[in-house]
Amino acid sequence: MKAFVLERYGKKRALRLADMPTPELRDDEVLVQVHAAGVNLLDAKIRSGEFKLILPYQMPLILGHDVAGVVVKVGPRVRQFKLGDEVYSRPDDFRIGTFAEFVAVKEGSLAIKPKNITMEEASSLPLVGLTAWQALVEKAKLKKGQKVFIQAGSGGVGTFAIQLAKHLGATVATTTSAGNVALVKSLGADVVVDYKTQDFEDALRGYDMVLNSQDGKTLEKSLRILKPGGTLISISGPPDPEFAEEIKTPWFVKQVMRLLSFGARRQAKRLSVGFSFLFMKASGSQLRQITPLIESGAIRPVVDKVFPFASTNEALAYVEGGRAKGKVVIKVR
């Protein structure tokens, strides 16, 4: 099969188009013929080696964390899927590889694709949808009437999280540039701060939750807009000791994570608010809860640009540029 391969870590390193063996299926896996693959900042970060401690991948590596496609083969223990099913997924860590013609996905990480959207739209959803779900529903248990601040509202996670928070009945504040105000308002944002002309810390007060996706300075300011008892969930770091425990990382890595998050945890404690790091996990059952929200129109996919498979490197560069409105997708088939 054709695939875009990373030979070794490096910032802005080009992926190479290569002939690779079709993935070997494990008993509980499904072989998916890739029709479309979502592109995420996570792909660029793994390529540059930022996650080496957390995710020690072997090279050569096929990147790609989002897929929509068709089931072409099933393992002997698979019960929920059959040949010809249209599916979507965020494959598990160490089984990623959607920048390719085929990918093997665990049955438990797969779901039937929403019927009312295209393959390209479906491939834009799993990683950002699961990130928003695990932050707002699973960790924060966001309730009707609460106030949530979602940073970078026009980005991939932001466009999904705003819609999910509105569906849950929350009041939503977000940051974006002037050109994207109409977009984030159309998704349900109640309070929009233009980050180029305004400081969100001056505009926002007494929030129940913050979804942090930016740098350390933004995280510090975000902790201060929470009300006592509120919580900040960060998807951009720093990783905390709980996360280190969760992924059963070696002792020295645990110490590194403890040190990295020390400042944020100390500040959160001083302000009587919560801080936690979220590294999203693959989950077919959560995708199955997201599907009806897509099919009912409560949440719509926001796709900025679709690149042909041959332009995978350009798609990655476009995402890294940080100007995408919503998601960027590669059309493989």
CATH number at residue 107: 3.90.180.10
Poorest-confidence range of 48-57, 99-108, 141-150, 286-295? 48-57
Q: Are residues 93 and 135 in the same domain?
A: no
Q: Are residues 89 and 162 in the same domain?
A: no
Domain of 308 in residue numbering reads as 2-125+301-331
Report the pLDDT value the prediction gives residue 22, as an integer from 0 to 100. 98
Q: What is the pLDDT of residues 268-309, one digit of tens each?
A: 999 999 999 999 999 999 999 999 999 999 999 999 999 999
Q: What CA–CA distance (Å, rounded) separates 137 from 152?
A: 19
**Is residue 287, in this structure, part of any structural domain at all?**
no
Q: In the numeric block, which tokens belong to residue 229?
A: 């008892």
Q: Are residues 197 and 66 in the same domain?
A: no
Q: Are residues 27 and 157 in the same domain?
A: no
CATH number at residue 199: 3.40.50.720
- The residue behind tokens 């280190």 is 244
Total of domains in the chain: 2
Phi/psi for 207 (5° steps) reads: -90, 150
Whether the link from the prior residue into 56 is cis, omega within 30° of 0, is no
Q: Are residues 118 and 140 in the same domain?
A: no
Report the pLDDT value the prediction gives residue 5, as an integer from 0 to 100. 98
Q: Are residues 120 and 132 in the same domain?
A: no
- The residue behind tokens 């001056």 is 202
**Is residue 173, in this structure, part of any structural domain at all?**
yes
Q: Are residues 167 and 91 in the same domain?
A: no
Q: Are residues 315 and 176 in the same domain?
A: no
**Is residue 289, in this structure, part of any structural domain at all?**
no
Whether residue 260 is predicted with pLDDT greater than 90 in this model: the reply is yes
Residue of 65, 13, 59 lying closest to 42 (CA atoms) = 65
pTM given for the model: 0.97
Q: Are residues 109 and 142 in the same domain?
A: no
Report the pLDDT value the prediction gives residue 247, as an integer from 0 to 100. 86
